[in-house]
Amino acid sequence: MGKDLYETSAQAKSMFDKADDILGFRITDIMFSGTEDDLRQTRVTQPAIFLHSVAKATIPGDGFKPEMVAGHSLGEFSALVAAKAISFEDGLVLVAKRALAMQKACEKQTSTMAAIIGLEDSVIEKVCAEIEEVVVPANFNCPGQVVISGSVKGIDLAIGKLTSLGAKRAIKLVVGGAFHSPLMEPAKLELEQAIDLTKFQAPVCPIYQNVNAQPSTEPAKIKANLKLQLTSPVMWTQTVQNMIADGASSFTEVGPGNVLQGLIKKINRDIAVQGA
């Protein structure tokens, strides 16, 4: 993972080497030659994806000059660095602290998430609100695809009700816990302190943030929105729709994989998408 960048770009190599120093362990060894299980460790997964994404976005000569940026959940931190709202070093520190804080929150209560396919967002929101257990919409990924998050009992109840209402599929996800739900409150409080200590500056372009799908350019507002991210849903459908309404004509996904390209095409089939 990312080895080609390390071997072909001096700037990327510098970032990877710096990441080893900042994190206090050789994440490059795990990314380049570790097993999938090694990569799935919480302390590794989030920094690895962040590092790969930011390195690709900052390689000279690739012409990466976005007019607006957005990121899905963890990707919001990569987007902040790409837009120069925070430094690479500060972003990596925040991501590492975020990963560990989320892991601790997951260990406090067994929880999970599930993907619901083929129902209106409003139906899913209504069902979640009616269940007395903790269960909330967590990711509005694209029309007809919403991820819910909460206690195991809450997720099971929601899956039963949503299936009876006509969901085409309701699939429990293999995740560590209930991300983007009230059960992440301990992690939110821990991350808030780190965000407060981080220097933010005006980005070079608007960043559309997860919590409200609106463009932000003011450092204070960006910080405030970022603090809410862990316990709030990712408004990805609304984000992409707003970016298109504000003039976006093509999207470039930066980082490993192509999941966001697929989601964007489901949100608007006529828009151009590509990978970096």
Half-sphere exposure of 32 (CA within 13 A, CB side): 13
DSSP output for 135-200: EEEEEEEETTEEEEEEEHHHHHHHHHHHHHTT-SEEEE---SS-TTSGGGHHHHHHHHHHHHTS--
Half-sphere exposure of 126 (CA within 13 A, CB side): 8
Residue 102 token pair: 């989320």
The answer to whether 102 and 176 are in contact (CB under 8 A) is yes
Exactly one of 149, 180, 181, 232 is catalytic; which is it?
180
* 146 phi, psi to nearest 5 deg: -130, 135
73 given a catalytic annotation: yes
d(CA 84, CA 164): 47
d(CA 77, CA 129): 29
Compute CA 39 distance to the chain's CA centroid, rounded to the nearest angstrom: 17
180 given a catalytic annotation: yes
d(CA 94, CA 233): 19
The closest alpha carbon to 54, from 81, 16, 86, 73, belongs to 81
Half-sphere exposure of 170 (CA within 13 A, CB side): 17
Catalytic positions: 73, 180
